[in-house]
Chain A
Amino acid sequence: MNPVLKKQQTPPVVDLNAIDNIGEKTEGFYKVSFDKLRKNKLAMFGLYVILLNIIMAVFAPLIAPHDPTEMFVKNRLEAPSSQFFMGTDEFGRDIFSRIIYGAQISLKVGIISVGIGIFFGVFLGLISGYFGKLLDNVISRFMDVLFSFPDILLAIAIMAVLGSNITNVMIAIGIVSIPIFARITRSAVLSVRESQFIEAAKSTGVKDIVIIFRHILPNISAPIIVQSTLSLAFAIIAEASLSFLGLGTQPPSPSWGLMLNTGRGFMETSPWVAIFPGLAIMITVLSFNVLGDGLRDALDPRLKKD
């Protein structure tokens, strides 16, 4: 026990169970922010569409009326009907089912590649922002080099080196999204690092590594969360673009970008083959973007308006 307490004459008895029951915990930062987000109709619309997307991806086998690779040879390039809600493609595959399965690919690529970007980007940003000096210079200049390439071009270059398959798509898009996370994290760390509570933590003898991950990281989570949603939108577009160019997922997998590419050839005769995957990409990306904007407003304490 702490000798501080022994010196007191009557150490008050504290029932710890009673403390837990006092409950009524303070509303946390995220609860307050979510309440603010809920008032933003556009952002909530984005959130619902994304949730719908996730449900579609997870329960694809239950929702889709047909197998995404099953070919109805007699019904090739058929217009939307009650049997095929969005028509069929040149092999007679049901476009509606393919779009539902396509959500799996888009979300998987989005989440894993943004995960790669966050993991490496945030780590690099944290150490370069916290330690500064030479380390910061080396990391920041390397990120500048990565930044100087147009995103899609860099992804194409990486795909060309790694070869085209879905794993490499995720790696390529992941690498492309590292620098933005590194830069955002670094600048946020720079402002938090000088706060007095970090100095106070140092003065109680906390290690650097604990300061970085326990004291700084939670304080800079807001910009990282916002950037994640925007990067998810980028990742989905990038996957579609790579697939459209034939560098990403390979046929017959139902990637939206790939479907858009094949539909291009039938635009005049059977426009639905291209329009529906295009719409799917557009709505999903738009949803991520409006959600990201909404989150930015909700998480920024300076934009408080009641």
Chain B
Amino acid sequence: MENLLEVIDLKVTFPTSKGRIRAIDGVNFKVKKGEILGIVGESGSGKSISSLSIMGLISDQGQVEGKILFNDENLLNKTEVEMRKIRGDKISMIFQDPMSSLNPVFTIGNQISEAILLHNKGVTKKEAVEKTIELLKLVGLPSPEQRIHDYPHKFSGGMRQRAMIAMALACEPELLVADEPTTALDVTIQAQILELLKEIQMKLGMSIILITHDLGVVAETCHRVAVMYAGHVVEETDVYTLFANPKHPYTKGLINSLPKLGSRERLTPIQGQPPQLYDDLTGCRFASRCPFVSAECLENEQVIAEVTKGHFVRCHKEVG
């Protein structure tokens, strides 16, 4: 399969009063056409910053380096005007909290048709409304003909997230970035939304980047997974390999700390805290929490390398 998006050596730094924070430090990943890539990691590992850099929505203080190739064009070289044409049309995004990502003063129909009118010149309002209704049907919202007149406060969380997905699909994007789309929803709705995303992905053949901290979500939905830790991708592989044969100690730790149905054993958490991402970090960033740490880990930073075909790991032990 062809690569739709290729992130090469992406670095994002933010100045703070204590020095530069390296929020993302040399991240590489690829999204193939028609693939769902999961990005997992804990808070502050750089998941959201990665997605915002793809959208070009990093705030002005942040410095972005590296390459983000989308259909072989580097998005980081685009001007703001060019990016605006890509956003919503070629790449669109769904956000974590559906309760606050719809504008409370417009009706649902109004907001979705705005996205349609914005990127399709020559579409009449009536056509846009018609399309909005179709989209809402596609995402499984009941009786969309009435619902387009409703304001967001009348929608439940799951319905709002469906409306947000409809809005993101308005221009049939090639890439959908879903930043923790199910975190704010309860478990049954979560399952429905994930099912919907999978279904739509199959129907429309687009690619999805699914950002989450929930390994269960990854297992259910994604084709491939990138595990992020402290601004690095520490392991990248297909979803089966990740759960069957995790290589990086952090991934192993994550999987060990998941509860298993029927098991009465105590969970093993990963001890300690992730490091502060200032400039003076040396060695492996997971070293302070790693049970297999050696002198080498503290001195040299390991680069990510392929251990078996399609399985990338950033660890001295595994790569040698």
| Chain A residues close to B by CB (< 8 Å) | 1-5, 7-8, 11-12, 14, 16, 18-19, 22, 24-26, 28-29, 195-197, 199-207, 215, 218-219
Contact = CB atoms under 8 A, between A and B. Distances in A.
Interface stretch (B16-24, B92-100, B311-319): B92-100
A22 B131 contact: no
B149 interface: yes
Given A203-B87, A204-B167, A197 B131 contact: no
Interface residues of B, number: 54
B101 A14 contact: no
Given A29-B105, A196-B101, A5 B145 contact: no
B138 A14 contact: no
B103 A4 contact: no
Given A26-B150, A199-B57, A205-B119, A2 B172 contact: yes
Interface string B83-125: 1111111001101110011111111000000111011100000
Contacts, number: 111
A18 B170 CA distance: 23
Contact of A4 (B86, B101, B130, B138): B138
A205 B57 contact: no
B134 interface: yes
Contacts of A206: 84, 88, 114, 118
A22 B149 contact: yes
Interface of B: 55, 57, 83-89, 92-93, 95-97, 100-107, 114-116, 118-120, 126-127, 129-131, 133-135, 137-138, 145-146, 148-151, 154, 164, 167-172, 203-204
Given A4-B169, A22-B149, A219 B103 contact: yes
21 contacts: A1-B127, A7-B203, A7-B204, A8-B138, A16-B130, A18-B145, A19-B129, A26-B107, A28-B151, A199-B57, A200-B167, A203-B55, A203-B57, A203-B93, A204-B87, A204-B88, A204-B114, A205-B119, A206-B118, A215-B103, A219-B105
Contacts of A24: 146, 149
Given A4-B172, A22-B145, A26-B107, A205 B87 contact: yes
Nearest to A207: B84
Contact of B104 (A1, A202, A219): A219
A89 B4 CA distance: 85
